[in-house]
């Protein structure tokens, strides 16, 4: 995999070009997503994709999945993440709580490459809640 990040020529604005053809705006001065914000969001996106795919394969009637992330960072530079917690809120009809727990666990322990990669350097924890909606 390859990517290119180019300075836009003003301030601390950059644009990332990735193989899928999508561009990502980055900023060091709050005009776009920061690099660290993008890493944190990538944990949630990667793992939420896993959770939804696993639940759909398990024929669960999922209507929503949200991953709420909280990261702790070092006080001094480099301000690396020191811990990340991902909390999944999975909503659907007649959801099986054990299948939701299994989906979160499989993502955390086997499938989410972003979370697993970061987990080699810091604790990445997971929790979930299931919200059942009426049919």
Distance of CA 68 to the CA centre of its chain: 9
pLDDT tens sequence across 31-87: 999 999 999 999 999 999 999 999 999 999 999 999 999 999 999 999 999 999 999
**Domain 1-33 architecture:** Single Sheet (2.20)
> Residue 2: how many CB atoms within 10 A of its CB?
6
Taking 80 as the threshold, does the pLDDT of residue 135 lie above it? no
Q: State the span(s) of the chain assigned CATH 2.20.25.
A: 1-33
Class of domain 35-132: alpha beta
The answer to whether 52 and 92 are in contact (CB under 8 A) is no
Give which of 71, 1, 10 is closest to 36, Cα–Cα: 71
pLDDT at 134 over 90: no
**Could you give the residue range(s) of every CATH 3.30.300.20 domain in the chain?**
35-132
């Amino acid at each position: 995999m390859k990517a290119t990040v180019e300075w836009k020529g003003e301030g601390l604005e950059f644009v990332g070009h990735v193989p899928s053809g999508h561009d990502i705006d980055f900023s060091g001065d709050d005009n776009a997503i920061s690099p660290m914000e993008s890493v944190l969001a990538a944990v949630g996106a990667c793992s939420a994709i896993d959770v939804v795919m696993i639940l759909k394969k398990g024929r669960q009637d999922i209507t929503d999945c949200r991953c709420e992330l909280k990261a702790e960072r070092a006080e001094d530079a480099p301000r690396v993440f020191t811990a990340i917690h991902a909390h999944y809120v999975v909503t659907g009809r007649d959801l099986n709580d054990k299948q939701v727990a299994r989906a979160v666990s499989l993502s955390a322990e086997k499938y989410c490459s972003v979370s697993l990669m970061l987990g080699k350097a810091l604790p990445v924890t997971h929790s979930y809640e299931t919200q059942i909606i009426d049919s």
